[in-house]
Amino acid sequence: MSPLLFFIAGFGAITGAVGVVVLRDPFYSVLALVFHLISLAVLFLLLRAEFVAAVQVVVYAGAVMVLYVFVVAYVGEESESLGERLRGNGSHPPAVGSGLRRAGAILGGALLVELLIALLGTGLTAIDGYGAGYEPGLGGGPHQFGTPAYIGQLLLTRFLLAFEVASFLLLIAAVGGVVLARRRGGLGEEDERDMLTPLDLLRPLGTGTTAEGVGGVLRPVQGRLEGAPRSRPSLPDAGSRRPR
Amino acid sequence: MTIGWYLAVSAIVFSLGAVGVMTRRNPLVVLLCLELMLNGANLALIAFSRMWGNGDGQILAIVVMTVAACEVCIGLGMIVALYRRQLPIDVDELRELQG
């Protein structure tokens, strides 16, 4: 049973990987990657890493891939296939680095050969074994290899520092992602900026909120106070700095 | 199956990812291929973890997944920023670092 499952899952993983590389549409590439990740999770299960397999399916194939799908749907278009690029007769003018690309593929093949030599020709005799013994049976105590309890105990004792550093890294990445993808020029969205609060009528222009300080609110307010005498110099308008 | 088979699969997946990173032009697909490479490494880590009956490799695999999630977050943020500025979504055209 185990060899059969291994061949099915291994074939699925490799097929999915090939699909990611050669498929024309990025959306299909994402779907191929999901297939690849799920096949890989089966391999993880065969290696008795149940918790990692569950994380792989839930976090990777679930959450991260949804993020990809959203960005592909947002950015869209721009599809190209590997074969087209290798021949250099795609929709684009003859590829700048068509030869380079072919060289890249050859380099990848060489890398594969080298890795296989390094991995399979190694002196490690344990590679030909089926792995170290482990405690069979159900229950899932902290001493049973690969269970959530086992991983949790390791993470909170021996690898506590790595755990904390990883969480901090995630926090930094989340902040970085928001900063990178935010809308330039102004704090809020369009409608938020157009909103006129009672406070706007009570106080003079340009003395108000942070949003005004960076140039967000001023324009609609000015538009609304068209008839009023404009004694104050108008601040530089953020509207012109918004993306084209 | 012996551990060697799993390592062979991991080597193939890693090389396919490397080929994708070197040959594709769409940065989205380049990121996907980076994921492939990380997954190949993860499979090797877990196979070795099984080989020694030691959980350290699994912890490292989870940390690699965390790093991959961070990379996706930043990478997709950059792609969205590129799209907003109407720059070409193409790694060949993006050869200048100037914002």
Would you place residue A30 in the very low, low, confident or very high pLDDT band (cuts 50, 70, 90)?
Answer: very high
Structural domain of residue B20, as residue ranges?
3-84
SS3 content of chain A, % helix, strand, coil (to 5): 65, 0, 35
Contacts of B16 (CB under 8 A, 6+ apart): A14, A17, A18, A20, A21, A108, B33, B36
Q: Which of A78-87, A176-185, A193-202: highest mean pLDDT?
A: A176-185
The pLDDT > 90 percentage for chain A reads 27
B79 contacts on A by Cβ (under 8 Å) = 71, 75
Residue B93, domain member (yes or no): no
Q: Is residue A181 within 8 angstroms of chain B, CB to CB?
A: yes
The rounded Cα A165 to chain-centroid distance in angstroms is: 19
Contacts of A238 (CB under 8 A, 6+ apart): A185, A186, A214, A215, A216, A218, A219
Distance CA A164, CA A76 (A): 36
Closest listed residue to residue A146, CA positions, set B68, B40, B74, B45: B45
CB B29 within 8 A of CB A20: yes
Using alpha carbons, list the distances in angstroms from residue A81 to A25, A91, A158, B18.
Answer: 8, 11, 46, 16
- How far is the alpha carbon of A229 from chain B, nearest alpha carbon, in Å? 37
The amino acid at A20: V
pLDDT of residue B84: 82
Interface contact B66-A169, CB threshold 8 A: yes
First-to-last alpha carbon distance for chain A, in angstroms, is 59
Is residue A238 scored above 50 in pLDDT? no
Contacts of A17 (CB under 8 A, 6+ apart): A32, A36, B12, B13, B16, B17, B36
B48 contacts on A by Cβ (under 8 Å) = none
Closest listed residue to residue A95, CA positions, set A78, A110, A80, A76: A80
What is the SS3 assignment for B26? coil
pTM score above 0.90: no
pLDDT (mean) for A5-12: 93
Is residue B54 scored above 50 in pLDDT? yes
Interface contact B84-A183, CB threshold 8 A: yes
pLDDT of residue A215: 59
Residue B94, domain member (yes or no): no
| Dihedral of alpha carbons B30, B32, B34, B40, sign | negative
Residue B76, domain member (yes or no): yes
pLDDT of residue A116: 86
Structure tokens that stand for A159 in this block: 């690898």
Residue A154: which of B5, B14, B55 has the nearest Cβ? B55
Residue A202, domain member (yes or no): yes
A21 contacts on B by Cβ (under 8 Å) = 16-17, 19-20, 23-24, 33, 36
What is the SS3 assignment for A225? coil
Residue A65, domain member (yes or no): no
> Each residue of B6-48: pLDDT tens digit?
999 999 999 999 999 988 888 889 999 999 999 999 999 999 9
pLDDT of residue A239: 47
Which alpha helices (DSSP H) does chain B contain, by range? 3-23, 27-52, 56-84
pLDDT of residue A218: 52
CB B25 within 8 A of CB A26: no
Torsion of CA A100, A105, A110, A115, to 10 degrees: 130
Residue A154, domain member (yes or no): yes
Would you place residue B74 in the very low, low, confident or very high pLDDT band (cuts 50, 70, 90)?
Answer: very high
CATH number of the domain to which B76 belongs: 1.10.287.3510
Residue A5, domain member (yes or no): no
Average per-residue pLDDT in chain B?
88
Residue A152, domain member (yes or no): yes
Residue B45, domain member (yes or no): yes
Contacts of A90 (CB under 8 A, 6+ apart): A80, A81, A84
Count of domains for chain A: 2
CB A119 within 8 A of CB B11: yes
Rg (CA), chain B: 17
Residue B19, domain member (yes or no): yes
Higher pLDDT, A1 or A242: A1
pLDDT of residue A127: 72
Using alpha carbons, list the distances in angstroms from residue B98 to B17, B30, B95.
Answer: 28, 21, 9
Structural domain of residue A174, as residue ranges?
142-179
pLDDT of residue A166: 93
Count of domains for chain B: 1
Interface contact B13-A166, CB threshold 8 A: no
> Each residue of A31-85: pLDDT tens digit?
999 999 999 999 999 988 889 999 999 988 888 899 889 988 888 765 554 444 4
Q: Is residue A62 within 8 angstroms of chain B, CB to CB?
A: no
Structure tokens that stand for A125 in this block: 């005799």
Residue B28, domain member (yes or no): yes
Structure tokens that stand for B59 in this block: 């912890």
Q: Which of A9-13, A151-155, B80-84: highest mean pLDDT?
A: A9-13
Residue B56, domain member (yes or no): yes
> Each residue of A98-125: pLDDT tens digit?
788 888 889 989 998 988 888 877 777 7
CB A19 within 8 A of CB A29: yes
Interface contact A43-B73, CB threshold 8 A: no
B66 contacts on A by Cβ (under 8 Å) = 166, 169-170
A147 contacts on B by Cβ (under 8 Å) = none
Q: Is residue A5 within 8 angstroms of chain B, CB to CB?
A: no
Residue A34, domain member (yes or no): no
Q: Which helix (H) or strand (E) holds A147?
A: none
pLDDT of residue A25: 87
pLDDT (mean) for A133-145: 65
Residue B7: which of A80, A120, A178 has the nearest Cβ? A120
Residue B78, domain member (yes or no): yes
Residue A107, domain member (yes or no): no
